[in-house]
């Protein structure tokens, strides 16, 4: 709704300028004077043209430049659940929204290869349409194969594209919990829930959760953050909000599509001892009224390093 109001405001400003220029042209031809006095005021003319110019330049930036400026966010986490010197690396991608091939998909494999993750995780919303599947499949094929594999969950867009299965693109579905053993005593538990979690999935993860393991939950949206009691979650990874995709200075995301509004719009949060990271996502979503764009909200690859700091095995 907010996006439509912004689009309407933009069209209104350009409409006023168009009408003003038509009247100016008619006046120059001696046909008709502007019917509204304010259209004759010089500062009004200059102001409207300045606003239109700024809007035009911002639209050019938001459509043709920023959506392709892929950024890398590095998140360093320290935990007593892993022994000192133990390191576990995660590459996290979400909201790919693949359609045609772009520079984003071309850059990602090299970024992941340089990071050399132990596991790679996807947070859903892989495609904008079925024609984006070959793009996703090609990108995944070009990724390094982490020792613990490539896993993902489904997002809200994925249920509408019923020709798509993550396995067909080389991404294993993360349903339930995956236990990764580090050395003789440390375990990282990686669990996944789709956009529409079932009670069965929740109970399965809850049953598998252990206090002495480092527990990671991957799901599409931040909206479950207050509903994960019993999962013993240390790290919660998600996307869905796109960081707003369009942000304004001093305010941030205009719309997030989260039931919590701007509370978890993007970035890192601490919620009752759980570290929540909401990624801005990689791809771009657009509609018929506004084209796919990003403004003050670059696409993002998240690289996470979890380091142990436990010096003894006491209490284990």
pLDDT in tens, 88-98: 999 999 999 99
Q: What is the Cα–Cα distance from 119 to 280, expressed in whole angstroms? A: 20
Answer whether residue 108 shows pLDDT above 90.
Answer: yes
Q: Of 30, 46, 66, which closes a domain?
A: 66
Domain count for the chain, please give it.
2
Verify that 124 and 34 share a domain, yes or no.
Answer: no
Verify that 124 and 200 share a domain, yes or no.
Answer: yes
Confidence of residue 55 (pLDDT cuts 50, 70, 90): confident
118-132 CB burial, b ≥16 within 10 A, e <16: bbbbbbbbbbbeeeb
Contact 237, 277 (CB under 8 A): yes
pLDDT, tens digit (0-9, with 9 covering 90-100), for 183-214: 888 999 999 999 887 777 888 899 999 999 99
Q: What is the pTM of this model?
A: 0.88
> What Rg value do the Cα atoms of the chain yield, rounded?
24
Average of pLDDT values for 11-39?
59
Verify that 20 and 76 share a domain, yes or no.
Answer: no
DSSP calls for 5-43: HHHHHHHHHHHHHHHHHHHHHHHHTTS---SSGGGG-HH
Verify that 126 and 236 share a domain, yes or no.
Answer: yes
Q: What is the Cα–Cα distance from 69 to 103, expressed in whole angstroms? A: 9
Long-range pairs for 172-179 at CB < 8 Å and ≥24 separation?
174/121, 174/218, 175/201, 176/201, 176/204, 176/205, 176/208, 177/204, 177/205, 177/208, 177/209, 178/148, 178/151, 179/208, 179/213
Structural domain including 115 reads 72-310
Q: What is the Cα–Cα distance from 221 to 240, expressed in whole angstroms? A: 5
pLDDT in the model for residue 1: 42
In a domain, 316, yes or no: no
Which carries the bigger pLDDT value, residue 184 or residue 79?
79
Q: Of 29, 51, 66, which closes a domain?
A: 66
Confidence of residue 144 (pLDDT cuts 50, 70, 90): very high
pLDDT in the model for residue 39: 55
Answer whether residue 305 shows pLDDT above 90.
Answer: yes
- Count CB atoms within 10 A of the CB of residue 249: 6
Q: What is the Cα–Cα distance from 137 to 41, expressed in whole angstroms? A: 58
Verify that 172 and 82 share a domain, yes or no.
Answer: yes
pLDDT in the model for residue 114: 97
Verify that 156 and 244 share a domain, yes or no.
Answer: yes
Verify that 129 and 233 share a domain, yes or no.
Answer: yes
DSSP calls for 117-175: -SEEEE-S--BSSGGGHHHHHHHHHTS---TT-EEE---TTGGG-TT--GGGGT-EE--
Q: What is the Cα–Cα distance from 140 to 130, expressed in whole angstroms? A: 16
Confidence of residue 315 (pLDDT cuts 50, 70, 90): very low
CA atoms within 13 A on the CB side of 7: 12
Confidence of residue 285 (pLDDT cuts 50, 70, 90): confident
- Count CB atoms within 10 A of the CB of residue 74: 10
- Count CB atoms within 10 A of the CB of residue 42: 7
Verify that 148 and 26 share a domain, yes or no.
Answer: no
């Amino acid at each position: 709704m907010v996006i439509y109001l912004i689009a309407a405001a933009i069209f209104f400003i350009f409409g006023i300028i168009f009408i003003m220029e038509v009247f100016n042209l008619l006046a120059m031809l001696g046909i008709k004077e502007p019917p509204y006095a304010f259209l004759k005021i010089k500062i009004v003319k200059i102001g409207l043209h300045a606003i239109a110019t700024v809007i035009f330049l911002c639209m050019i930036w938001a459509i043709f430049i920023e959506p392709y400026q892929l950024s890398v966010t590095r998140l360093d986490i320290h935990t007593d659940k892993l022994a000192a010197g133990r390191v576990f690396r995660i590459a996290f991608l979400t909201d790919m929204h693949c359609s045609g091939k772009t520079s984003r998909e071309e850059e990602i494999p090299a970024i992941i290869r340089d990071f050399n993750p132990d596991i790679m995780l996807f947070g859903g919303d892989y495609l904008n349409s079925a024609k984006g599947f070959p793009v996703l499949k090609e990108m995944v094929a070009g990724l390094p194969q982490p020792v613990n594999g490539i896993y993902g969950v489904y997002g809200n867009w994925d249920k509408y594209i019923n020709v798509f299965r993550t396995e067909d693109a080389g991404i294993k579905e993360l349903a339930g919990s995956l236990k990764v053993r580090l050395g003789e005593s440390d375990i990282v538990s990686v669990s996944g829930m789709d956009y529409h979690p079932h009670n069965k999935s929740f109970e399965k993860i809850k049953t598998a959760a252990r206090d002495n393991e480092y527990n990671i939950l991957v799901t599409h949206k931040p909206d479950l953050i207050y509903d994960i009691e019993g999962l013993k979650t240390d790290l919660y990874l998600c996307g869905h909000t796109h960081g707003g995709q369009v942000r304004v200075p001093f305010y941030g995301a205009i719309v997030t599509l989260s039931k919590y509004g701007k509370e978890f719009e993007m970035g890192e949060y601490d919620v009752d001892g759980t570290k929540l990271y909401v990624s801005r996502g990689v791809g771009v979503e657009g509609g018929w009224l506004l084209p796919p764009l990003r403004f003050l909200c670059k696409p993002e690859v998240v690289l996470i390093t979890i380091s142990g700091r436990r010096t003894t095995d006491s209490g284990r």
